[in-house]
C-alpha cells in the first residue's frame, strides 16, 4: 500500500471573516485514506481565548469544503476579527485554505 497523502496537523496562520458577511473563507479537506477522518479545528485570536474545538468527519476517500462562517458549535466564528486555526485529524489529510479571491498556503507538520 502506498504511503498516505497528507498530515495529521495543519496550521493556517491567517483568517478573517468580514463584518458585512460579504466574503468567506474555506478549508478544503481531502481524506485519501480508507478510514473516516475525525477532524477538530481550534481557532486562535490576538485578544481572547481560543474557540473550539469544532468537530467534523470526512468520509474515506472523500473531500469536504468547509466554510468557516458555517462553524457554530461550540460558538460562531466571530466576524471582523483576525484568527488563526489549527486543524487536526486522526488520519492524514490534505488541507487547502481559500478566501473568496485568494489562497493562503498552510504549514503542515506532524
Q: Where are the domains of the chain?
A: 7-109
DSSP string, 58-98: E-TTEEEEEEGGG--SSSPPPSS--EEEEEEEEEEEEEEEE
CA neighbor of 32 nearest in space, from 5, 10, 1, 3 = 5
* Peptide bond between residue 26 and the one before it cis (omega within 30 degrees of 0): no
Instruction: Report the alpha-carbon distance of residue 9 to residue 110 in Å, rounded.
Output: 6
In this prediction, what percent of the chain has a pLDDT beyond 90?
A: 69
The pLDDT assigned to 41 comes to: 98
CATH code that applies to domain 7-109: 2.60.290.11
- Per-residue pLDDT of 38-48, as tens digits, reads 999 999 999 99
When pLDDT is averaged across residues 26-50 and rounded to a whole number, the result is: 96
Q: Look-up: residue for cell 473531500?
A: 63
Amino acid at each position: 500500500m502506498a504511503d498516505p497523502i497528507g498530515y495529521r496537523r495543519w496550521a493556517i496562520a491567517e483568517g478573517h471573516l468580514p463584518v458585512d458577511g460579504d466574503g468567506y473563507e474555506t478549508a478544503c479537506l481531502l481524506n485519501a485514506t480508507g478510514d473516516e477522518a475525525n477532524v477538530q479545528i481550534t481557532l486562535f485570536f490576538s485578544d481572547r481565548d481560543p474557540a473550539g474545538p469544532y468537530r467534523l468527519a470526512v468520509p474515506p476517500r472523500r473531500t469536504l469544503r468547509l466554510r468557516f462562517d458555517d462553524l457554530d458549535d461550540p460558538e460562531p466564528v466571530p466576524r471582523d476579527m483576525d484568527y488563526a486555526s489549527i486543524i487536526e485529524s486522526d488520519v492524514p489529510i490534505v488541507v487547502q485554505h481559500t478566501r473568496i479571491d485568494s489562497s493562503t498556503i498552510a504549514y503542515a507538520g506532524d
